[in-house]
Amino acid sequence: MGNTARPQNAEAYIANLRAQLTENSECGNSHYNLAVALMGQQEYDLAEQALHDAVDCSPNLAEAYVLLGGICLQRNDMEGCLRYNRGATKARAGFAEGYANIGFVMLQLIDGKNAKDDEEKLDMAIKNLRKAIVHNTNFVQAYATLGNAYYMKGLIDEGIKANLEAIKIHPDFPIAHNNLAVGYLQTEEYAKAVEHCDKAEAQGFEIAEGLKKELAPHRQ
C-alpha cells in the first residue's frame, strides 16, 4: 500500500475513498469504509447506499449488515434492523454482534398485545443473547441485555448472575449496576441494591425515580 498518509479531515478522506472506488469499484472494504465515514458526517442515505454496495461486492462482510441494521434502528424500523442483523449472522457464522442485536430488537418488539407472541419473542431474545456470549465471552452489553431479558421472564436470580458477569468484565459498567439494583430489590437484598444503585449513579447513569423511592427506606 506504500506510505500514503490518511487525510486529516473527513471530507478529504471521503474524496480519497471515492477516488479509490473509481479505480476499483469491486472493493467491498472501500465501500464499507466510505459508509462509515459518511455516517460520521450524518449522511445516512449515502451511507446506506455505500453499505449495499459493500455487501454486493463482499457478501460475507457482516459488519456492513450490522451498520445497515443500525440505520434502520435510527428510523425506528425494528423489522429492518432485525432482518439485517440476521443477515450478519448468516454472512459470518459466530458473529456475536449480530446475535446480540437480534436479542436487543426482539426485546423491543415485545408490545404486550399477545402474551404467547411476546413469550416467543422473549425466548428468541434470550437464545440469541446467549449465542452472542458463547461467541464473545467478554461481550459486556450482551450480558446486561440478557440480564434484562431474564428479569422480564421472571428469572431474577439468572438476571442477577448475568449482570454480575458484566461487571466482572467491566467493573464500572453503569447499566449492569442499575440492573443489579433492580434485581437485588426483587430478592430483598437491600444493602446490595443500594450499593449498585449508587455505583450506577456515580457513573452518570440516570436512575429511575421509582427505583430511588423504593430504595430510600432501606438507606442507613
CATH number of this structure's domain 139-220: 1.25.40.10
Please tell me the distance from the alpha carbon of residue 131 to that of residue 94, in angstroms, as a whole number: 8
Domain boundaries, the chain: 139-220
pLDDT of residue 50: 96
All three cell numbers of 100: 446480540
All three cell numbers of 70: 443500525
**Mean pLDDT across the stretch 167-177?**
97
Residue 2 scores a pLDDT above 50: no
| Orientation of helix 62-74 relative to helix 78-91, angle to 10° | 170
Cβ atoms < 10 Å from Cβ of 124: 18
Task: List Cβ neighbours of 160 (8 Å cut-off, separation of 6 or more).
Answer: 147, 180, 183, 184, 187
Write the pLDDT tens digit of every residue in 40-75.
Answer: 889 999 999 999 999 999 999 999 999 999 999 999
Q: What is the pTM of this model?
A: 0.88
pLDDT of residue 8: 54
pLDDT of residue 46: 95
Residue 105 scores a pLDDT above 70: yes
Residue 213 scores a pLDDT above 60: yes
- Look up residue 183 and give its amino acid: G
Residue 205 scores a pLDDT above 80: yes
Residue 4 scores a pLDDT above 80: no
Whether residue 107 contacts residue 149, with contact meaning beta carbons closer than 8 Å, is answered with yes
Query: Please, what is the average pLDDT of the chain?
Result: 93
Give the DSSP H or E segment for 209.
helix 209-215
Cα dist from 108 to 81, 103, 179, whole Å: 11, 9, 17
Task: List Cβ neighbours of 130 (8 Å cut-off, separation of 6 or more).
Answer: 146
Please name which of 156, 202, 210, 204 lies closest in space to residue 179, comparing C-alpha atoms: 156
Cα dist from 85 to 3, 11, 102, 118, 134, whole Å: 36, 29, 6, 20, 17
Task: List Cβ neighbours of 189 (8 Å cut-off, separation of 6 or more).
Answer: none
Residue 17 scores a pLDDT above 60: yes
Write the pLDDT tens digit of every residue in 115-164.
Answer: 999 999 999 999 999 999 999 999 999 999 999 999 999 999 999 999 99
Task: List Cβ neighbours of 145 (8 Å cut-off, separation of 6 or more).
Answer: 100, 103, 104, 107, 129
